[in-house]
Chains A and B, each alone.
Chain A
Amino acid sequence: MKVAILQFPGSNCDWDAEHAVQDVLNVPAKRVWHKSGLPAETEAVIVPGGFSFGDYLRCGAIARFSPIMLGLKEFVEKGGQVLGICNGFQILCEAGLLPGALVRNDCMEFRCLNQSLRVENSNDRFNQSKFGSAISLPIAHGEGNYRADETVLAELEANAQVLLRYEGNPNGSINDIAGIRNQAGNVYGMMPHPERAVEPHHPCQDGLPVLDAFLEPIRKNNPIELSAS
Chain B
Amino acid sequence: MKVTVFVSPKTTVLDPQGAAVEQAMKSLGHETVESVRVGKTVTFEMSGEDSPEVRSKLDELCDGLLSNPVIEDYRFEIEEG
Query: Are A and B part of the same complex?
Result: yes
A binding-site residues for B, Cβ under 8 Å = 57-58, 61-62, 65, 93-94, 100-101, 103-108, 145, 147-149, 172
User: Would A147 and B14 be within 8 Å (CB), given that A100-B70, A101-B70 are in contact?
Assistant: yes
**In whole angstroms, what is the CA distance A103 to B39 when docked?**
13
Query: For residues 40 through 81 of chain B, which have their beta carbon under 8 Å from a beta carbon of chain A?
Result: 64-66, 68, 70-71
> For chain B residues 3-28, which have a beta carbon within 8 Å of chain A?
9, 12-17, 19-20
Known A-B contacts A57-B65, A61-B65, A65-B65; the reply to A106 vs B70 at CB < 8 A is no
Closest 7 CB pairs of A and B: A101-B70, A101-B71, A104-B16, A106-B16, A108-B20, A108-B16, A147-B13
Residues of B bordering A, CB below 8 Å = 9, 12-17, 19-20, 64-66, 68, 70-71
Knowing A108-B20, A147-B14 touch, does A58 contact B68 (C-beta < 8 A)?
yes
Question: Contact between B14 and A61 (Cβ–Cβ < 8 Å)?
Answer: no
A and B contact pairs by CB, cutoff 8 A, 14 listed = A58-B68, A61-B65, A61-B68, A94-B68, A100-B70, A101-B71, A104-B17, A105-B16, A106-B16, A107-B16, A108-B20, A148-B70, A149-B70, A172-B16
Chain B residues positioned under 8 Å from A101 (CB to CB): 68, 70-71
Name the residue of chain B whose CB is nearest to the CB of A58.
B68
- 4 extra A-B contacts, CB within 8 A, seeds A93-B70, A103-B15, A145-B16: A61-B68, A94-B68, A101-B71, A104-B17
Partner of B14, one of A58, A65, A94, A172: A172
Chain A minimum-CB-distance residue to B67: A58
Given A57-B66, A108-B20, A145-B71 contact (CB < 8 Å): no
Nearest residue (CB) in B for A94 is B68
List chain A residues, Cβ under 8 A from B64: 65
